[in-house]
């Protein structure tokens, strides 16, 4: 009979047993940690080289974490960093003995002669730290996978989130001290001042950007309107502005239209050639030239479109993480929220209102996790149509869930009086409203509310600043096109044909 050696096991939660390999130490590089800390205390250049690479948790030895914390505090306060100042800071924090005392600090400075290879050493320390984090995360995933009560899709989402945090280097912290947060806020304010107040992603609409200072990181923005108002046209005009004018990567999740249809809309608005002509390919020689020249900018634009139908919030989060990691996407657009499904995240089932609540809550969580704005289109209820008087939408018109209003940082609407056959705005001047739309900011968690009027060119599916001036040449080409006779049908289910006999988008 073979001599079978017993296998050491660790008892996990709820009685599951996990095999542990014997003789395995966590990945570490203590000698390099000593060299890096010693170099930081003898050479200021060494501190500058690695202070943005390392953090306290990256060190394996607890005493090294304490010493690095002291160095980091001195750096933030613009104090000199050497053996004496680090020792003094540790005494002030009551951590000198925990760090090994003055004798240990002296020993660290004697281990190195200069900071010549400090950056290379620091990156090895980070690699060892990442390996330890992966081992820790894997152990947690194994524990949860053995738990029969765990939902497998929640487990997948949790695993991907933790791994994404490691990839991005944004490991979760339990809390942050006010001292560090104030420093971050002051730095951000200084950066904003250099960007003329534009702290977020510009939309390309001047009055809207003046109100919001750009779409802010971690914000969930809801853009709602009745069908046919031009929700998709607005976000596609905005995506074109963001990607082409500001060279900012944009991700678009289209659950309603195909990716080719969306990009055709962009080509139409970018070139000034009607959608009907583009679909037929019936272009004049000068229009072919115009198309070939202007489409080059669009073809190079950092725009990523996913047209997966019935996309679940779980799949969207996974795809968004990959786009942010691989392509540096800075803004996400979803068209539209009610076509999404909660998938298996909504364990309890429930009605559609609860499902929409789950989706909106997860969209806000995604915006915070990636620290980028998420713009989700939403339908409005039919109450707008049946209401007498002004047809301007209200927050109470949001369809299917009050949680949308609660979770969103900004709730906005698009209103076009022409849709209802009106020819004038209902203001004191009763000014004409032909070819115009109103972008209504009805909720703004971090700013003011305003109704912003924009120019709307229906046959090009284009929104632009109302004050925008067009060149005479471009304007003359615009006059060659005939806008729909019934403005209500410009984006409705049944639209009037354009000059080519085709229905505009």
Residue 226 CA from chain centroid, whole number = 26
Strands 250-254 and 220-225: unpaired
Are the CB atoms for 390 and 237 separated by under 8 Å? no
Please, what's the b/e burial string for 271-297 (b: 16 or more CB within 10 A of its CB; e: otherwise)?
A: bbbbbbbbeeeebeeebeebbeeebee
Extract the runs of DSSP E, i.e. beta strands, from 194-324.
220-225, 250-254, 303-306
Half-sphere exposure of 415 (CA within 13 A, CB side): 24
Nearest-angstrom CA–CA distance, 283 and 341: 41
Q: Residue 388, Cβ neighbours under 10 Å: how many?
A: 5
Total length of the chain: 505
Nearest-angstrom CA–CA distance, 81 and 379: 58
Nearest-angstrom CA–CA distance, 445 and 50: 38
Please give the positions annotated as active site. Answer: 256
Nearest-angstrom CA–CA distance, 403 and 385: 22
Q: How far apart are the first and last CA of the chain?
A: 79
- Which of the 8 DSSP states describes residue 113? S
Extract the runs of DSSP E, i.e. beta strands, from 307-407.
331-335, 374-379
**Helix H or strand E segment including 217:** none
Residue with tokens 């730290």: 129
Nearest-angstrom CA–CA distance, 174 and 88: 28
Strands 374-379 and 331-335: parallel
Nearest-angstrom CA–CA distance, 499 and 496: 10
- Which of the 8 DSSP states describes residue 319? H
Sign of CA dihedral 194, 200, 201, 206: negative
Largest CA distance in the chain: 100
């Amino acid at each position: 009979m073979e001599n079978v050696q017993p296998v050491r096991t660790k008892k996990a939660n709820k009685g599951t047993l996990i095999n542990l390999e014997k003789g395995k130490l966590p990945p570490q590089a203590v000698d390099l940690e000593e060299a890096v800390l010693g170099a930081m205390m003898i050479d200021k250049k060494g501190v500058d080289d690695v202070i943005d690479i390392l953090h306290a948790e990256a060190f394996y030895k607890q005493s090294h974490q304490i010493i690095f914390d002291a160095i980091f505090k001195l750096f933030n306060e613009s104090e000199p960093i050497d053996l004496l100042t680090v020792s003094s800071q540790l005494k002030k924090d009551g951590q000198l003995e925990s760090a090994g005392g003055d004798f240990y600090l002296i020993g660290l400075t004697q281990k190195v002669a200069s900071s010549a290879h400090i950056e290379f050493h620091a990156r090895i320390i980070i690699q060892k730290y990442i390996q330890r984090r992966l081992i820790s995360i894997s152990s947690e995933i194994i524990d949860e996978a053995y738990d029969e009560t765990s939902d497998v899709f929640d487990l997948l989402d949790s695993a991907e989130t933790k791994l994404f945090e490691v990839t991005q280097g944004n490991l979760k912290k339990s809390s942050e001290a006010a001292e560090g947060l104030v420093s971050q806020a002051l730095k951000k304010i200084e950066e904003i001042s250099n960007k003329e107040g534009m702290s977020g992603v510009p939309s390309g609409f001047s009055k809207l950007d003046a109100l919001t200072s750009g779409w802010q990181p971690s914000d969930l923005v809801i853009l709602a309107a009745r069908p046919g108002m031009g929700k998709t046209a607005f976000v596609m005009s905005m995506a074109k502005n963001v990607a082409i004018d500001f060279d900012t990567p944009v991700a678009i999740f289209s659950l309603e239209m195909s990716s080719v249809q969306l990009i055709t809309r962009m080509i139409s608005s970018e070139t000034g050639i009607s959608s009907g002509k583009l679909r037929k390919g019936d272009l004049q020689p000068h229009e072919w030239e115009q198309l070939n020249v202007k489409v080059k900018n669009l073809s190079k634009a950092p725009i990523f479109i996913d047209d997966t139908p019935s996309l679940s919030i779980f799949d969207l989060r996974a795809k968004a993480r990959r786009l942010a990691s691989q392509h540096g996407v800075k803004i996400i657009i979803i068209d539209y929220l009610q076509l999404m499904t909660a998938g298996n995240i909504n364990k309890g089932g429930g009605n559609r209102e609860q499902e929409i609540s789950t989706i909106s809550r997860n969209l806000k969580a995604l915006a915070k996790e990636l620290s980028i704005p998420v713009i989700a289109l939403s339908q409005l209820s039919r109450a707008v149509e049946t209401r007498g008087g002004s047809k301007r939408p209200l927050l109470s018109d949001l369809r299917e869930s009050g949680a949308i209003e609660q979770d969103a940082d900004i709730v906005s609407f698009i209103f076009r009086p022409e849709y209802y056959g009106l020819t004038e705005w209902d203001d004191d001047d009763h000014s004409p409203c032909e070819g115009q739309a109103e972008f209504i900011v009805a909720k703004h968690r971090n700013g003011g509310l305003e109704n912003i009027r924009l120019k709307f060119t229906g046959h090009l599916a284009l929104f632009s600043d109302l004050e925008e001036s067009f060149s005479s040449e471009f304007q003359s080409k615009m006059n060659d096109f005939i806008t729909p006779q019934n403005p209500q049908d410009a984006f409705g289910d049944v639209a009037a044909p354009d000059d080519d006999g085709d229905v505009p988008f």
